[in-house]
Amino acid sequence: MRIKSIFRLVIFVVIISLMLIIILSNASSVRVNLIFFSFDCPSIVLILASLFIGYLIGVLSSTFISRSKHKDRASYAKNIGQSEKETNKKNKK
């Protein structure tokens, strides 16, 4: 288990290092054109905003998926419980 946590830490450090290299090498200002307006902003801000939005989408989608799986398991267990009760009633008759 210790090797697994060290491996995760190394991967995390490598990803953070790559992000920092990319962000710091893109310090110039860029023009952003959206549907109804446009503005200038540093590319650092744009990259960080994109990373944050991607992170939020990942967290929200994983939360939604885990909740739907939990509901499926609960309904499955409920159906099994009901079918067992029906089977027990039939066997008692």
* pLDDT score of 25: 83
**In angstroms, what CA-CA distances link 37 with 3, 31, 50, 55, 67?**
50, 11, 18, 25, 38
Q: Return the pLDDT at 44.
A: 83
pLDDT tens-digit readout, 33-89? 988 889 998 888 888 888 899 989 988 888 877 666 655 565 655 566 656 566 666
pTM for this entry:
0.50
Contact 64, 48 (CB under 8 A): no
